């Protein structure tokens, strides 16, 4: 009996230990699950991107959130390593949008003109070649017009004959055959269509004349500029004293030049689309009509006002096409630019 009692006591103790172990295991499991859940929820926060922007004092700021109103002023999204993921530009109001659209249209027009200039220089080596091409084009179009006019004359004669036949039948109180009426209508339509083609060709001919004359005049200007650019034509009146002073352009470039008598210079050039301002300083010299800039310092200011300065060794050449006390035309970066005294 005693052995049975001891055996039951041991079993009860073992059962109690098993119960405690199971309870502890469940508790550990729950704690582990809670920890894993917390880590999972905190992972996006630890890996979230940052915002970099310029505050009202002009200083760069990196933060996890954007202050009120900053989204409209522009910002950058960066990762934890400082790499830029996205650039969000500042929003523009209606006037800025209109000015940007106008500037883009102006730049597009300038680009189209440059492409046309290159095409003209490729097609013709002299204005006389362009005039000969115009004459050939006019002759071809005039031949087409004369052929159509001959066709109209034949149709008109046949149409008059059929109409006379129809009128004679009507005077004799006879019925006009349907075939004859259809023939008159068909020839009338053909005559009208032919006359429309003649009118269109005549309009095209006048348009060709106008476009060719404009191209010839532009070609003469381009060749004159090329001669000046190549130094074929000397202009002794262009001197360092004449060029000294302030100049600016608001045409194809937003550009300011200050040429000092002591041989130093400073320039400012602004990109109207990005708002980036580039300032350069150094020395300048004049050789006949060739203007040479030796750039020593360069400063770039972005649209947010951040300035980057550096020392450089850069040479820029520009051929002066025309110049007087009030304005000058220079050949710069593949196109002519007009600068005026401010």
Query: Phi and psi dihedrals of 110, rounded to 5?
Result: -65, -40
What local confidence, expressed as pLDDT, does residue 234 receive?
Answer: 65
pLDDT value of position 238 = 87
Residue pair 127/216 in contact by the 8 Å Cβ criterion: yes
- Residues 192 and 216: their CA atoms lie apart, in Å, by 36
pLDDT reported for residue 265: 96
Cα separations (Å) of 199 from 158, 162, 191, 204, 209? 21, 25, 12, 9, 16
Q: Per the structure block, which two tokens stand in for 196?
A: 């429309």
pLDDT at 251: 67
Q: Which residues contact 252 (CB under 8 A, 6 or more apart)?
A: 110, 335, 337
In whole angstroms, what is the distance from residue 71 CA to residue 55 CA? Answer: 12
pLDDT at 243: 93
CA angle 316, 337, 260 (to 5 degrees): 55
In angstroms, what is the C-alpha Rg of the chain? Answer: 42
H/E stretch holding 293 reads strand 290-301
Q: What is the DSSP letter of 73?
A: G
State residue 104's pLDDT score: 84
pLDDT for the residue 26: 53
| 131-164 as b/e: b if 16+ CB within 10 A | eeebeebeeebeeebeebeeebeebeeebeebee
Residue of 46, 91, 40 whose CA lies nearest to 64: 46
- Averaged pLDDT, groups of 10, the chain, 342 residues long: 46 48 50 48 54 85 86 85 84 78 84 88 89 92 94 94 92 91 94 95 92 89 76 75 91 83 93 80 90 93 84 89 86 81 91
Q: What local confidence, expressed as pLDDT, does residue 36 receive?
A: 47
Helices (H), 124-246: 127-171, 178-229, 240-243
Nearest CA-CA partner of 65 in 41, 81, 49: 49
Q: pTM for the complete prediction? A: 0.46
């Amino acid at each position: 009996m005693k052995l049975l009692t001891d055996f039951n006591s041991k079993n009860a103790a073992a059962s109690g230990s098993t119960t405690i172990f199971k309870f502890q295991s469940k508790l550990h499991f729950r704690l582990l699950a809670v920890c894993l859940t917390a880590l999972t929820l905190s992972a996006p926060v630890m890996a979230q991107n940052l915002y970099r922007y310029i505050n009202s004092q002009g200083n760069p700021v990196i933060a996890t959130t954007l202050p009120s109103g900053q989204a409209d002023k522009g910002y950058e999204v960066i990762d934890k390593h400082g790499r830029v993921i996205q650039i969000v530009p500042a929003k523009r109001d209606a006037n800025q949008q209109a000015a940007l659209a106008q500037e883009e249209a102006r730049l597009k027009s300038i680009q189209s003109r440059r492409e046309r200039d290159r095409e003209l220089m490729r097609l013709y080596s002299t204005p006389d070649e362009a005039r000969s091409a115009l004459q050939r084009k006019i002759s071809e179009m005039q031949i087409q017009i004369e052929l159509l006019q001959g066709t109209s004359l034949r149709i008109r004669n046949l149409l008059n004959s059929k109409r006379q036949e129809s009128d004679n039948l009507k005077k004799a109180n006879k019925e006009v055959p349907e075939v004859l009426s259809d023939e008159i209508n068909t020839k009338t339509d053909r005559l009208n269509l032919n006359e429309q083609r003649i009118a269109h060709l005549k309009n095209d001919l006048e348009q060709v004349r106008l476009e060719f004359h404009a191209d010839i005049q532009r070609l003469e200007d381009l060749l004159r500029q090329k001669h000046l650019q190549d130094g074929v034509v000397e202009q002794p009146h262009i001197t360092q004293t004449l060029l000294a002073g302030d100049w600016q352009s608001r045409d194809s470039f937003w550009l300011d030049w200050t040429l000092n008598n002591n041989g130093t210079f400073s320039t400012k050039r602004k990109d109207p689309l990005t708002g980036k301002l580039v300032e350069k300083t150094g020395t300048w010299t004049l050789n006949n009509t060739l203007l040479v800039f030796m750039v020593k310092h360069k400063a770039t200011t972005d649209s947010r006002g951040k300035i980057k300065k550096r020392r450089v060794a850069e040479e820029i050449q520009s051929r002066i096409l025309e110049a007087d006390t009030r304005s000058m035309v220079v050949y710069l970066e593949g196109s002519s630019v007009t600068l005026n005294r401010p």
